[in-house]
Amino acid sequence: RSCPPREELEALLAAHGGNLKQLADAEGIGRRTLYRWLEERGVDPNAFREG
Q: Which fold has domain 6-45?
A: Arc Repressor Mutant, subunit A (1.10.10)
On average, the pLDDT of the chain sits at 96
What are the residue boundaries of the structural domains of the chain, listed by start? 6-45
pLDDT value of position 1: 84
pLDDT value of position 27: 96
State whether the Cα torsion 35-41-29-25 is positive or negative.
positive
Question: By percentage, how much of the chain surpasses pLDDT 90?
Answer: 92
Helices 6-15 and 31-41, packing angle to 10 deg:
130
Segment 1-31, tens digit of pLDDT = 899 999 999 999 999 999 999 999 999 999 9
Amino acid letter, 28: G
- Give the pLDDT band of residue 41 (cuts 50, 70, 90): very high
Question: By percentage, how much of the chain surpasses pLDDT 70?
Answer: 100
DSSP structure string for 22-34: HHHHHHT--HHHH
